Amino acid sequence: MSERVEKVRGELEQYEHPLFAFSARAEGEDIAVEIRFKDASAPVHVYEFTLRAREIDSPQFCWNFQRQLYDCLHDYVVEMFTRNPQMKTY
């Protein structure tokens, strides 16, 4: 197992949420992070973002990771809307 994927998994272990599950897997030198909605019966997609090797190797990784995770959680929740004023219905 790569050191980078272990580093990211170690960070993810510090986060627990009642609605979302987190995982990480290696993709070459980069790491793909998945955010899944825990209720598998809900018709929502899995959100995924990529961490580049240089981001993981940065001395500021912990802080940058938290910001990116929270930003992605926000985006994921917004993408879960099944209807909003910007959607056109025909």
In a domain, 49, yes or no: yes
pLDDT 10s digits, 11-55: 999 999 999 999 999 999 899 999 999 999 999 999 999 999 999
In a domain, 24, yes or no: yes
pLDDT 10s digits, 55-84: 999 999 999 999 999 999 999 999 998 888
In a domain, 40, yes or no: yes
In a domain, 17, yes or no: yes
In a domain, 84, yes or no: no
In a domain, 87, yes or no: no
Confidence of residue 89 (pLDDT cuts 50, 70, 90): low
Counted domains in the chain: 1
Q: Is residue 51 packed enough to be buried (19+ CB in 10 Å), middle (13-18) or exposed (0-12)?
A: buried
In a domain, 85, yes or no: no
Beta strands 20-27 and 30-37, pairing class: antiparallel
For 31, the domain range is 3-79
Confidence of residue 1 (pLDDT cuts 50, 70, 90): low
In a domain, 89, yes or no: no
Distance of alpha carbon 40 from alpha carbon 56, whole angstroms = 30
